[in-house]
Amino acid sequence: MAVQTVVSNTGISLGPAAALSCRECGERFPLGPVFACEACFGPLEIAYDLPGGDPEALRARIEAGPDNIWRYAPLLPVPADVADKPNLNPGFTKLVRADNLARELGVTGGLYVKDDSGNPTHSFKDRVVAIAVEAARAFGFTTLSCSSTGNLAGAVGAAAARAGLRSCVFIPHDLEQGKVVMAAVYGGDLVGIEGTYDDVNRFCSELIGDPAGEGWGFVNVNLRPYYAEGSKTLAYEICEQLGWRLPDQIVVPIASGSQLTKIDKGLRELIGLGLVEDRPYRIFGAQAEGCSPVSRAFKEGHDVVRPVKPDTIAKSLAIGNPADGPYVLDIARRTGGAVEDVTDEQVVDAIKLLARTEGIFAETAGGVTVGVTRKLIETGALDPSLTTVVLNTGDGLKTLDAVAPTTGPSAIIRPNLDSFREAGLA
Ligand SMILES: Cc1ncc(COP(=O)(O)O)c(C=O)c1O
Ligand SMILES: [Zn+2]
């Protein structure tokens, strides 16, 4: 991995963010566009000086904030005036009580779908990008960029347009049309690369070390420590929407594994701040069988994740060499969770199940998550008597091709009553 020169943090103020710290050796670095430890090459993450004191006062402050992720600004690496700047204001999406789905799956302890398809570009990526934009502004980057499996490309294009930054994003050339169009429509540059996501990501790392990438903030590479923190807001929202209570079980889709890792970080912060009662919770990871390196390592009892070449309809989760894979394994094991995978056919069935029971049309990643939830209940890994939250991270309109072959009109008729009666629908 390329390491950029550490810039001085003089004058850089990102709210409660105190420093970057290495997730492997704990070494600390000043805030800057660096993402790997100089000492051991471990990934860097944000260390905070979080607001201490009275939890009631902090809760009240959060509740009085805007209906978007900026209500949690005191817990995020963003400047205090973040909500006043032009941005897409993602977050505070619906936590849907899914009683119909619960009945189908046999869940009795309360089942909820956190529906992040309601974000501005219809995936959870708006959360992470919103934080990365603030870091890009702070470090003086003029071009916003990323390597993407599709959703991130759209989120970066839209956020850059709103923030007045140039954007140039990189994707595998063979993504779903809905994602390609969404990535291009906001007017930035979009580059399709002949290769997998892992090839795209490697190329972006090279670009960072080259003069051609000067002034470029790659949200999920050289801005990754900041970007990744956006996923904590999912944990905050879920707990607040449950009445400041931890769920017992959460099922999270895995591509790089960053979202799952940061949801755990967010939950631990809420406990540490006294905003929720300290109770056990379990985190489960979901992958598609055609790209299941973390699930395989979990089942085989390994600590290392062996990279794979992805082959699945769940293209947004098609990362064969997930950066946060080992951390996901740790979290699943520490919390008493698991990592499981489902076939493409089960993904499509699960998309339809969620749509039929709750009126929520998920993209393939949501199908993976619901499918894995069903499988975890069947295998006994997930306890149906406990409060369970399932994430839907993206909108089904972006991956229509996945369900199109097995859905369509019930009948095509002539516009008269006889024809309708003949169709047998009356
Ligand atoms: C819809 C959707 N869900 C989940 C993920 C997984 O995110 P992560 O890389 O943080 O594991 C992605 C990643 O692109 C995604 O697009
Ligand atoms: Zn280190």
β-pair type (143-147, 216-218): parallel
Arithmetic mean of pLDDT, 102-115: 98
Give pLDDT tens digits for 162-193.
Answer: 999 999 999 999 999 999 999 999 999 999 99
Among residues 384, 375, 337, 374, the alpha carbon closest in space to that of 354 is found at: 374
User: Helix (H, G, I), strand (E, B), or coil: what is residue 29?
Assistant: strand
Q: Write down how long the chain is.
A: 426
From the centroid of its chain, how far is CA 328? 13
* For residue 198, pLDDT beyond 90: yes
Share the mean pLDDT of the chain. Answer: 96
Arithmetic mean of pLDDT, 281-295: 98
Q: How far is the CA of 150 from the centre of ligand 1 (A)?
A: 9
What span, in angstroms and rounded, lies between the C-alpha atoms of 342 and 67? 35
Same fold flag, 95-122+229-406 and 124-224:
yes
* For residue 103, pLDDT beyond 50: yes
The pLDDT score that the predictor gives to residue 57 is: 96
| Least-confidence region, from 4-8, 14-18, 71-75, 253-257 | 4-8
* For residue 315, pLDDT beyond 70: yes
pTM of the model: 0.96
Q: Which ligand neighbours the alpha carbon of 42 most closely? A: 2
The pLDDT score that the predictor gives to residue 40 is: 97
Burial pattern 337-359, b for ≥16 Cβ within 10 A else e, equals bbbbbbebebbbbbbbbbbebbe
Could you tell me the end-to-end alpha-carbon distance of the chain, in angstroms, rounded to an integer? 63
What span, in angstroms and rounded, lies between the C-alpha atoms of 74 and 38? 29
Token pair for residue 220?
Answer: 């999920």
Q: Whose CA is nearest to atom 16 of ligand 1?
A: 316
* β partners of residue 372: none
Q: Is 65 exposed, middle or buried (0-12, 13-18, 19+ CB in 10 A)?
A: middle
Q: How far is the CA of 426 from the centre of ligand 1 (A)?
A: 43
Q: Give the model's confidence band at 1: pLDDT under 50 very low, under 70 low, under 90 confident, else very high.
A: very low
Give pLDDT tens digits for 360-418.
Answer: 999 999 999 999 999 999 999 999 999 999 999 999 999 999 999 999 999 999 999 99
- Alpha helix positions (H), 8-150: 55-63, 99-105, 125-139
Among residues 390, 83, 158, 409, the alpha carbon closest in space to that of 253 is found at: 390
Considering Cα of 157, then 160, then 166, then 172, what sign does the dihedral take? Answer: negative
Q: Which ligand neighbours the alpha carbon of 146 most closely? A: 1
Pocket residue to mutate for ligand 1, from 124, 127, 146, most atoms within 8 A of Cβ: 124
* For residue 9, pLDDT beyond 60: no
The pLDDT score that the predictor gives to residue 2 is: 36
CATH fold of 95-122+229-406 = Rossmann fold (3.40.50)
The string of DSSP letters for 391-417 reads: EE-BBGGGGHHHHGGG---S----SSH
| Least-confidence region, from 5-9, 38-42, 347-351 | 5-9
Ligand 1 binding residues, C-beta < 6 A: 123, 149, 151-152, 253-259, 316-317, 363, 365, 393-394
Token pair for residue 48?
Answer: 């905070």
* For residue 350, pLDDT beyond 50: yes
Arithmetic mean of pLDDT, 52-80: 96
Residue with tokens 């471990």: 42
Q: How far is the CA of 315 from the centre of ligand 1 (A)?
A: 10
Q: Which residue ranges make up each domain of the chain? A: 95-122+229-406, 124-224
Architecture of the 124-224 domain = 3-Layer(aba) Sandwich (3.40)
Burial pattern 166-202, b for ≥16 Cβ within 10 A else e, equals bbbbbbbeebbebbbebbbebebebeebeebbbebbb
